[in-house]
């Protein structure tokens, strides 16, 4: 694809506009120049939450409202911001300095509650800090504030071996740590050898579905036609998930090297890395890594003198969870609203612009260099059959240690939370764990000893999902958690199909009613039936999985829902107004 993408063009217009928005005249200009209808350009601009078609303040404050931040009392942060700024959510201060907005997950769950002012993240917020932060931003502008992510030195580090060890902005340090050796070995042995090695390693995708990577690559390698694309999915929008950001910020070359090897094996000459717009530091680190890889001959027209041409472009997202779904992500790169495509056909044969396309998650691709360097046999020595290698877990919620953990598949969930994560905070008991994202599974203490691998999780109808683990202590209100999840899906549904568009709204309204004290026991049956209908009839996995945790919370904690209806008060205290 040639020229600037629609997302980049709109990002540029918005950031160059004093009132932080995309004026109608500019959408008109884009429409005329690109010969795309005005309604399409406008439809695109209004789909993504980071874009605005209405004037806003000089600084945009986006407060994360997703589950980990909600559990970290994001509501109190919002209330304080409203008080200090004298505006409500969605409004701009009279002096035009600030616009206050809510946001879905910002990927800062280990430092909740969190917010961003312009591109700068602020974590571990307390209400007392708010006046000072606002004063400072007003006088000095939004300053760089890089916090260091905690990485637990757990056993079995494969993907994170260099994170926190080498300087992520230095290609020399990456090379000194055996970087780009895998690429050389791949080129020496040829594409088919690489595919065979990947198949032998039995690496499975880390983006959620767990599809075997070697097989996916083989489909694209065998697909006819000279034009094929490779995409790295770095959209990471699942609440409670921030592991891909940690790789991008801490070891960007491992992803670039994985992408080049994947492209070499499958015959792709153009690559994209789609990074969510909220991850500014990741974008900058990947940008630098691509530039350095190019100047060292690892990217370009003739990689390492082999005659193999390949290059990578960054595509910046603009705020949408569903765009992480692979076909939706391709629609987004092509300049369309984030709506999923019908499958089949699948991306390996019909993907970006209708061409064969390999799409892999960041963590999947970061596994490739160690597999190629050390060999598939070495990789298969790491833990249990059919789940070889390690998995990254994003740990947050009511746990003593929050951050990213790398542990071999087969490690027990109880070990991850109690030993590596230091157990439930403040000596409280465990109520449950939201596992694999808010579209994943609600696990109760009796399931806590489950080994985390594909086969074991299937026995309890779960999967690793995004690898997020949100721990809930005994004081957490299940109804309140369900409400937060319903709100998230209602907001993120793309609206293409009725079961999800209406179903997510209905779920939210019923839970709202229960929280307001007018719930009836029959509401629980309605939620379960609605959940079943959404699972069976929604067009894509977003709508199919949106009711998962809510319905499971009724099945596993029915008495808590009934108690709530009877007492008409929120267990664990607090309020839920939004």
Q: Which stretches of the chain bind ligand FMN, using CB under 6 A? A: 205-209, 211, 233, 235-237, 322, 324-326, 359-361, 364, 541-542
Compute the least distance from the CB of residue 402 to ligand FMN, in Å.
20
**Under 8 Å between Cβ of 561 and 551:** no
* Biggest CA-to-CA distance, the chain: 73
DSSP string, 94-151: TTS-EEEEEES--S-GGG-S-EEETTEEE-S--GGGHHHHHHHHHHH-SPP-PPPPPB
What is the chain's alpha carbon radius of gyration, rounded to the nearest angstrom? 23
Compute the least distance from the CB of residue 47 to ligand SF4, in Å.
11
* b/e sequence 229-242, b meaning 16+ C-beta within 10 Å: bbbbbbbbbbbbbb
Compute the least distance from the CB of residue 337 to ligand SF4, in Å.
10
From the list 108, 366, 128, the residue with the least C-alpha distance to 253 is 366
329 counts as binding ligand SF4 under rule CB under 6 A:
no
Report the 10 Å Cβ neighbour count for 381.
Answer: 11
Site string for ligand SF4, 510-539 (x = CB under 6 A): ----------------------------xx
Compute the least distance from the CB of residue 495 to ligand SF4, in Å.
5
| Partner from ligand FMN, ligand SF4, none contacting 207, C-beta within 5 to 8 A by type | ligand FMN
| Partner from ligand SF4, ligand FMN, none contacting 409, C-beta within 5 to 8 A by type | none
CA distance 314 to 316: 6
| Partner from ligand SF4, ligand FMN, none contacting 539, C-beta within 5 to 8 A by type | ligand SF4
CA distance 125 to 103: 15
Q: Closer CB to ligand SF4, residue 285 or residue 341?
A: 341
Q: Give me the residue label for tokens 């065998």.
A: 222
Compute the least distance from the CB of residue 326 to ligand FMN, in Å.
4
Choices 88-96, 256-264, 491-499, 523-531 (CB under 6 A): range interacting with ligand SF4: 491-499
What is the three-class DSSP state of 452? coil
Compute the least distance from the CB of residue 534 to ligand SF4, in Å.
8
| Partner from ligand SF4, ligand FMN, none contacting 93, C-beta within 5 to 8 A by type | none
540 counts as binding ligand SF4 under rule CB under 6 A:
yes
Compute the least distance from the CB of residue 339 to ligand FMN, in Å.
12
Q: Closer CB to ligand FMN, residue 321 or residue 557?
A: 321
Q: Closer CB to ligand SF4, residue 367 or residue 439?
A: 439
Q: Closer CB to ligand FMN, residue 353 or residue 526?
A: 353
| Partner from ligand SF4, ligand FMN, none contacting 448, C-beta within 5 to 8 A by type | none
Compute the least distance from the CB of residue 79 to ligand FMN, in Å.
30
From the list 63, 24, 62, the residue with the least C-alpha distance to 46 is 24
The helix-helix angle for 191-201 and 362-374 (nearest 10°) equals: 100
Q: Give me the residue label for tokens 């029915």.
A: 558
From the list 358, 349, 351, the residue with the least C-alpha distance to 332 is 351
Q: What residues contact residue 221 under an 8 Å CB cut-off, 6+ apart?
A: 191, 192, 195, 265, 266, 267
Half-sphere exposure of 373 toward its Cβ, with a 13 Å CA cutoff?
A: 18
CA distance 106 to 493: 17
| Partner from ligand FMN, ligand SF4, none contacting 154, C-beta within 5 to 8 A by type | none
| Partner from ligand SF4, ligand FMN, none contacting 476, C-beta within 5 to 8 A by type | none
The encoded tokens of residue 366 equal: 């970061």
Compute the least distance from the CB of residue 206 to ligand FMN, in Å.
5
Selected from 168, 250, 543, 547, the binder of ligand SF4 by CB under 6 A is: 543
Q: Closer CB to ligand SF4, residue 278 or residue 492?
A: 492
Compute the least distance from the CB of residue 237 to ligand SF4, in Å.
12
Q: What are phi and psi of 473, to 5 degrees?
A: -85, 175
Site string for ligand SF4, 496-515 (x = CB under 6 A): xx--xx--------------
Q: Closer CB to ligand FMN, residue 263 or residue 542?
A: 542
Enumerate the β-bridge partners of residue 407: 391
CA distance 119 to 429: 37
Compute the least distance from the CB of residue 119 to ligand FMN, in Å.
20
Choices 33-41, 341-349, 489-497, 560-568 (CB under 6 A): range interacting with ligand SF4: 489-497
CA distance 385 to 388: 6
Q: Closer CB to ligand FMN, residue 364 or residue 387?
A: 364
296 counts as binding ligand SF4 under rule CB under 6 A:
no
Residues near ligand SF4, by CB under 6 A: 322, 340, 493-497, 500-501, 538-540, 542-543
């Amino acid at each position: 694809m040639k020229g600037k993408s629609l997302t980049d063009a709109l990002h540029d217009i918005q950031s160059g506009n004093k009132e932080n928005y995309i004026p109608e005249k500019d959408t008109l200009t884009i429409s005329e120049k690109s010969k795309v209808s005005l309604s399409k350009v406008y439809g695109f601009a209004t789909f993504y939450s980071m874009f605005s078609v209405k004037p806003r303040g000089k600084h945009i404050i986006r407060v994360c409202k997703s589950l980990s931040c909600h559990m970290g009392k994001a509501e109190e942060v919002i209330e304080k911001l409203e008080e200090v700024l004298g505006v409500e959510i969605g409004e701009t201060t009279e002096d035009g300095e600030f616009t206050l907005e809510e946001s879905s997950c910002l990927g800062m769950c280990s430092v909740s509650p969190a917010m961003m002012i312009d591109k700068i993240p602020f974590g571990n917020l307390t209400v007392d800090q708010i006046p000072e932060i606002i004063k400072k931003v007003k006088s000095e502008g939004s300053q760089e504030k890089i916090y260091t992510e905690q990485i637990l030195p757990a056993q079995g580090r494969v993907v994170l071996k260099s994170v926190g060890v080498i300087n992520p902005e230095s290609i020399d340090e990456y090379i000194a740590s055996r970087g780009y050796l895998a690429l050389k070995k791949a080129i020496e042995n040829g594409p088919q050898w690489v595919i065979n090695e990947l198949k032998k390693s039995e690496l499975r995708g880390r983006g959620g579905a767990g599809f075997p990577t070697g097989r996916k690559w083989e489909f694209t390698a065998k697909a006819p036609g000279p034009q094929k694309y490779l995409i790295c999915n770095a959209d990471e929008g699942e609440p409670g998930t921030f592991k891909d950001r940690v790789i991008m910020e801490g070891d960007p070359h491992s992803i670039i090297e994985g992408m080049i090897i994947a492209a070499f094996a499958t015959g792709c000459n153009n690559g994209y890395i789609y990074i969510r717009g909220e991850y500014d530091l990741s974008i900058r680190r990947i940008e630098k890594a691509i530039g350095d890889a190019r100047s060292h001959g690892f990217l370009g027209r003739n990689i390492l003198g082999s005659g193999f041409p390949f290059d990578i472009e960054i595509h910046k997202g603009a705020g949408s969870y569903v765009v992480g779904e692979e076909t939706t992500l391709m629609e987004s790169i092509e300049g369309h609203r984030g709506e999923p495509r019908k499958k089949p056909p699948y991306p390996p044969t019909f993907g970006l612009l209708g061409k064969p396309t390999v799409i892999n998650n960041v963590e999947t691709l970061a596994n490739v260099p160690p597999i190629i360097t050390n060999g598939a046999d070495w990789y298969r020595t790491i833990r249990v059959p059919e789940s070889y290698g390690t998995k990254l877990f994003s740990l947050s919620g009511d746990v003593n240690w929050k951050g990213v953990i790398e542990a071999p598949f087969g490690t027990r969930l109880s070990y991850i939370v109690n030993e590596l994560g230091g157990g439930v905070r403040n000596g409280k008991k465990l109520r449950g764990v939201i596992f694999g994202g808010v579209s994943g599974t609600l696990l109760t203490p009796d399931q806590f000893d489950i080994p985390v691998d594909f086969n074991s999780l299937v026995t309890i109808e779960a999967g690793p999902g995004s690898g997020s683990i949100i721990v809930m202590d005994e004081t957490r209100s299940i109804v309140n958690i369900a409400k937060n999840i319903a709100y998230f899906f209602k907001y993120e549904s793309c609206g293409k199909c009725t079961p999800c568009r209406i179903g997510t709204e209905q779920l939210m309204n019923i839970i709202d009613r229960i929280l307001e004290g007018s719930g009836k026991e029959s509401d629980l049956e309605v939620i379960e039936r609605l959940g079943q209908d959404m699972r069976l009839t929604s067009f894509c996995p977003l709508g199919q999985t949106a009711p998962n945790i809510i319905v499971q919370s009724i099945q596993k904690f029915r008495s808590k829902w009934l108690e709530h209806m009877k007492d008409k008060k929120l267990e664990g205290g607090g309020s839920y107004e939004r």
